[in-house]
Amino acid sequence: MLPREKLLKDGVGSLSNKDLIAVILGCGSRESDVFKLSEEVDEKYAADYTKMTYSELMLIKGMGEVSAMRLCSACELFTNRKAGIIKIKCPQDAVNLIGNIRDRRQEHFLTITLNGSGGVIQKRTVFIGTLNKSLVHPREIFADAISDRASGIIIIHNHPSGELEPSREDIFVTEKLVEGGKILGIEILDHLIVTSKSFYSFKENGKI
């Protein structure tokens, strides 16, 4: 099956590195077909594809200017994208993303969806108002995570009162979301309560 056909049938994740290079190249030349070119590029840069340069690519027999430009552009896009990924390694990293909700007079409930390596996919404000079990429904929380194809979620809400300890309602909502996550295969990684001065982590306090 040709790489393009495989991509359409099984998705981009089914392609090998050589297949991906072939799709980017699009076509070969009179001197080398696209598969020969992709094989040579893969052999030359398999250790680090971000090292591709236009001048070096043009030394490959049969490589055209447009093909070399496509590969360099794809490399640059990947490098920029990778550098821009924010990773959550500890609760403070998540707190740093929430802006000024710590000082708000109303409770704000946010979610941060993450990929398998802890990279942030999206941050959302789910609702504004007093936290209760009727407002925080697993369906609303996990719908976005499923759409993001996330592997985990961090939930955050503020306590305008300044009280850091979780309420019974906070604990109930967290337990309900954790159980929902187990069913869906999307882990609730932490629930953070924030105030203007500090934060409380369910994970660090053994409540998740």
Signed CA dihedral, 38, 44, 49, 50: sign only: negative
pTM of the model: 0.59
Determine the pLDDT at residue 140.
79
Task: Please check whether residue 29 lies inside any domain of the structure.
Answer: yes
Same domain for 147 and 99?
yes
Task: Please check whether residue 41 lies inside any domain of the structure.
Answer: yes
- Last residue of some domain: 35, 62, 83? 83
- Last residue of some domain: 66, 83, 100? 83
Residue 131 lies in domain: 91-201
Q: From CA 31, how far away is CA 33, in angstroms rounded?
A: 7
Q: From CA 121, how far away is CA 201, in angstroms rounded?
A: 21
pLDDT digits (tens, 9 = 90+) for 30-49: 888 999 999 999 999 887 77
Same domain for 71 and 131?
no
Same domain for 73 and 146?
no
Same domain for 95 and 197?
yes
Determine the pLDDT at residue 134.
46
* Coil vs helix vs strand at 152: strand
Task: Please check whether residue 207 lies inside any domain of the structure.
Answer: no
User: Residue 191: which of 100, 119, 94, 86 has the closest Cα?
Assistant: 94
Same domain for 66 and 97?
no
CATH code (residue 166): 3.40.140.10
Buried b (16+ CB within 10 A) or exposed e, 50-63: eebeeeebeebeeb
pLDDT digits (tens, 9 = 90+) for 38-90: 999 999 988 777 788 899 999 999 999 999 999 988 887 776 555 557 889 89
